[in-house]
Amino acid sequence: MKFFYQLLLILAISISGTAWSEQNFDEAEKLWKNNKHVESMEFYQKALDSGKLSKKQIVRSHYNRGFAIFKLMSEVDGAIKELDEVLKLEPDNADAYCLRADALSIVQKYKEAVPDWKMSLEINPDDPITYINRSYYFEENGNIDRALEDLENYIELFDEYTPVDMRRLEILKDMQSKGMKKRY
């Protein structure tokens, strides 16, 4: 009988742990949807620490934490670690490759960033964000032909491009026609 009660206690603790992790994950999602990204990070971390999340929830938690750390807090190394976790669990996550490439390029780790942008586009060749981000890298590094190609792909795929994008396209075409490698 004692064994039965111990088993019930273990089961109750396990269920409450799962419920607690679900509550934390749900709260994180609620905050995220309300654009409270930094605030959501604590709840994502608590949910991750519980060890009771599904693979999909773990991936989402790490991705959203990586996004918030990079885009909102400018902590590149922390963002890269979160995105590494996403890619361990979901190696075909194009968004994670793109975001990690962006983070790597900020700290000038271009040899690592370029393959991530390439992988992102192999997985999702219709992602305008990867094209525009990679085009800035190519332009900055004097590869005007590739920058122009990526910018044209971006404009073709993204119907919300701006007059600034069109002006940049004109500038790059002019640079290409003159054989220039850098704007300045």
* Same domain membership, residue 94 and residue 138: no
Concatenated DSSP letters of 118-168: HHHHHH-TT-HHHHHHHHHHHHHTT-HHHHHHHHHHHHHH-TT--HHHHHH
* Same domain membership, residue 107 and residue 133: no
Distance of alpha carbon 157 from alpha carbon 96, whole angstroms: 20
* Same domain membership, residue 142 and residue 85: no
pLDDT digits (tens, 9 = 90+) for 28-49: 899 989 999 889 989 899 999 9
Q: Is 126 helix (H, G, I), strand (E, B) or coil?
A: coil
* Same domain membership, residue 130 and residue 162: yes
Q: How many Å separate Cα 89 from the centre of its chain?
A: 14
The range of the structural domain enclosing residue 33 comes to 20-111
Does 7 have pLDDT greater than 70? no
Structure tokens at 69: 């750390």
Q: Number of structural domains, the chain?
A: 2
* Same domain membership, residue 175 and residue 147: yes
Structure tokens at 31: 């905050």
pLDDT digits (tens, 9 = 90+) for 96-126: 999 999 999 999 999 999 999 999 999 999 9
* Same domain membership, residue 101 and residue 139: no
* Same domain membership, residue 82 and residue 52: yes
Structure tokens at 165: 């994008």
Q: Is residue 49 part of a domain?
A: yes
Distance of alpha carbon 41 from alpha carbon 69, whole angstroms: 9
Q: What pLDDT does residue 2 have?
A: 58
Question: Within a 10 A sphere around the Cβ of 37, how many other Cβ atoms?
Answer: 19
* Same domain membership, residue 131 and residue 103: no
Task: Classify residue 161 as exposed, middle or buried by CB count within 10 Å of its CB (0-12, 13-18, 19+).
Answer: middle
Q: Is residue 56 part of a domain?
A: yes
* Same domain membership, residue 131 and residue 55: no
DSSP state of 53: -
* Same domain membership, residue 148 and residue 107: no
Q: What is the CATH number of the domain that holds 84?
A: 1.25.40.10
